[in-house]
Amino acid sequence: MRTEDLTHYRYGRVSVIGLSLIAVVASAFAWFGLPSRIFTPDDPVTLRLAAYEGDVGALNWIAQDRGFFQRAGINVVIKGYNSGNAAIEAMRAGEVDVATAADLVVAKRSFDETDLRIVADICRYWNKGMIGRRDHGVTNPAALRGKRIGVPATSSAEHNLMVFLALHEISTSDVTIVDLQPAQLVEAIAGGSIDAAIVWQPHVLAIERRLGANAVTLMEGGTEAHLLLVTREATLSAQPAGLTGLLKGVVQADTWVADHPDLAKAWLANRFALTQDYLEVIWPRMQLAVSLPQEILAAMDSEARWIAKTYHKDTTPVFTETVHAALLMAVKPSAVTVFTK
């Protein structure tokens, strides 16, 4: 064989082997659900996300674990938080670019942080519960008069409590409201120092387990809540491509959940160490889907009026300016039903 023929043969063989290896790697990525796009150090789009590390925040973690962010052309660095307030604090401190938080948290912070911008709702959920002690005479809502009710102050649970009392024509002066954090609530009602408690899951289930037959369910689900993707006006202007990639990733996660509900439930249980009984409670009470519904504005307006009254604020935020629908409209127009300026 001539030298030039041998050279062509060798390079041709190397090329075939190389292509074969690429095909094998690509197949492996597809089979295991790993990212089909491999990043290099030259990739410019990186976004830092402070995400709620729990059931209702699942879409962010699914998008990360299954490679949907990478396929959308973005590198998302996620840090988990146990509350929306802590996540927004991290964003305010410059540690992250985007945060997840419940609508009430965003409504409250918007009084002072006028540059907050909502780009999507990634979960609608009903995870509150109110439990009374049967042996303390709390067998129905009317029996709450004169009782001690535990609730985390200025939280979505407290807002639910105000709505609940109003619906049953009970004045706040008719009850004693005790400010306790969720874990404290479980111990307080189990120990009998309070007569009833209102809080979110999984603490509701923990209370029911501790009280057993002595637990009386006064409210299940509560008002609708929204877990929002929130950024700042400066980030919105500086990183539109990154935010668009983030939305594309969570939309892919949304589609995966809708197409594979059983796999999604199994993933949820494994990722967040959820017990089967808790999963059966929470799964029907949350919608892991990307949207921007009109209900966000109605909910936040109601919450802002309550916050203004509670904390003696003279004005309330204009939430039509807080919601920024353009990015999600470009990614998934059908998900946007909110009317903004």
Q: What is the domain count for the chain?
A: 3
Over residues 142-177, the pLDDT tens digits come to 999 999 999 998 788 999 999 999 999 999 999 999
Is residue 229 located within the same domain as residue 325? yes
- Residue 91 scores a pLDDT above 50: yes
Over residues 231-251, the pLDDT tens digits come to 999 999 999 999 999 999 999
CA dihedral 192, 195, 198, 201 (to 10 degrees): 30
**Helix axes 240-259 and 58-65, enclosed angle (nearest 10):** 90
- Residue 42 scores a pLDDT above 60: no
Is residue 266 located within the same domain as residue 317? yes
The pLDDT value given to residue 335: 97
Over residues 259-300, the pLDDT tens digits come to 999 999 999 999 999 999 899 999 999 999 999 999 999 999
The pLDDT value given to residue 310: 86
Q: Which of 221, 249, 266 is the last residue of a domain?
A: 221
Pairing of strands 176-179, 128-133: unpaired
The pTM of this model reads: 0.82
Question: CA 328, 331, 332: angle at the middle one, nearest 5?
Answer: 80
Q: Which two tokens stand for residue 117?
A: 């911008």
Is residue 59 located within the same domain as residue 207? no
Is residue 250 located within the same domain as residue 237? yes
Strands (E), 114-159: 116-125, 128-133, 148-151
The pLDDT value given to residue 311: 87
Is residue 217 located within the same domain as residue 91? no
Is residue 203 located within the same domain as residue 285? no
Is residue 213 located within the same domain as residue 251? no
Is residue 163 located within the same domain as residue 253? no
Is residue 173 located within the same domain as residue 263? no
Instruction: Specify whether the CB–CB gap between 196 and 189 falls below 8 A.
Output: yes
Token pair 């879409």 is at which residue? 59
Instruction: Specify whether the CB–CB gap between 319 and 107 falls below 8 A.
Output: yes
CA atoms within 13 A on the CB side of 232: 20
**Per the domain annotation, does 40 fall within a domain?**
no
Is residue 28 located within the same domain as residue 151? no
State the distance between the two ends of the chain, measured CA to CA, in whole angstroms. 75
Structural domain boundaries, residue 152 = 128-221
Is residue 22 located within the same domain as residue 50? no
